[in-house]
Chain A
């Protein structure tokens, strides 16, 4: 059971907007930043969003992040076939004194 809760799957059609949620608690998301990682099939994870809503250079502005209270969300606008991937949220957990990941969400582009 992951400390951060994500839906196991999400889907959308090309061009659609899709959101993926990440629910935590006051010991993690409620007190610290959230990070999002994209893991394409058979590859290592890659940083997608840092500090709740910041995009590293090279990440398309179709991807955006937000945080409110003890929850965070990743939004993908203008869905494309190459967005089909696993997505993970992460945050520092003060109770664990360690990093926590969400269980991951598998995004399917129909």
Chain B
């Protein structure tokens, strides 16, 4: 069964940095595009970033220049490096696989990032 497990969330001060990880299993990670999607407390879903199987990247305007998505195919791991964090980045961050039928399927369980002094 396809599984995605995020980690790396926590509390960080404004202006700080954090790196999230998403370990994938039971599918060919190296051939799959991967997304990060976030959800602020009590709010809706917001797409954050995408990395294609060949390394092509896309970002939401709200994180461009501050966040970097990357992948390590040897470890089946997706990353999100978050710099210059702001209070509005506080959210649960989900990783999700892109397939031929859906951009986001399945989703991981999420990891909470809290930006607060």
Contact = CB atoms under 8 A, between A and B. Distances in A.
Interface string B79-117: 000000000000000100000011111111110000000
Contacts of B35: 99
Interface in A24-47: 35, 37, 44-47
B57 to A, nearest CB: 12
B54 interface: no
For chain B, the bracket of interface size reads 20 to 34
How many chain A residues sit at the interface, stated as a range, is 20 to 34
Contacts of A37: 45, 104
A104 B106 contact: no
Given A98-B58, A98-B60, A35 B47 contact: no
Nearest to B4: A44
Contacts of A44: 94, 106-110
Given A50-B102, A99-B103, 11 more contacts: A35-B104, A44-B108, A45-B45, A46-B106, A47-B106, A56-B101, A88-B44, A97-B58, A98-B50, A101-B45, A101-B47
Interface of B: 35, 44-47, 50, 58-61, 94, 101-110
